[in-house]
Structure 1
Amino acid sequence: MTLARADFHELHQARAQAEAQRLFDQKAVLQGAWLGWVASQIYTLRPAEYASMVRRALAHLQELSEN
């Protein structure tokens, strides 16, 4: 059974946001090495739809931190 996109999103949203927060929290720790590290972390996430959710949540956190 394949989940509809909206169902998949609803099912995994909280987990994706928590993962994005975990990745974002490492920015201060890793500093200049963070960008390469975070890219490698996102690359390992499956399925691709989940990785995209994490990427969007991470972008949102970065945007909030810059404003």
Structure 2
Amino acid sequence: MSRSAFHQQHAERATAEAQRLIDQRSALGARWLSWVASELYQLTPPEYAAMVRRELARLNAG
């Protein structure tokens, strides 16, 4: 599968996952960053985890 096809197939899911992680920030407070790191570590394949990280950064900035 090409990189472009992979991205198209998983873009919506990656955005939803990033939003789920952002939504937990207020509930977890200071523990949020380590929690997010552990959640990202568990995502597979690594290309999908990278997509979620990029979406997380985008949502966090905006």
TM-score, scaled to structure 2: 0.99
Distance 2:57 2:26 in 1: 16
Question: Which residue pairs with 1:33 in the alignment?
Answer: 31
Counting matched residue pairs gives: 62
Distance 2:5 2:29 in 1: 36
TM-score, scaled to structure 1: 0.91
Identity of aligned residues (%): 55
Q: Choose the corresponding residue for 1:44, options 42, 45, 49.
A: 42
Larger radius of gyration: 1
The answer to whether structure 1 residue 15 and structure 2 residue 16 are counterparts is: no
Distance 1:62 1:10 in 2: 22
Where structure 2 has 5 or more consecutive residues not aligned to the other structure, the ranges are none
Where structure 1 has 5 or more consecutive residues not aligned to the other structure, the ranges are none
Distance 1:32 1:38 in 2: 11
Considering only aligned residues, what root-mean-square deviation do their CA atoms show, in Å?
Answer: 0.3
Helix, strand or coil for the counterpart of 2:13?
helix
Distance apart, 1:4 and its partner CA: 0.1
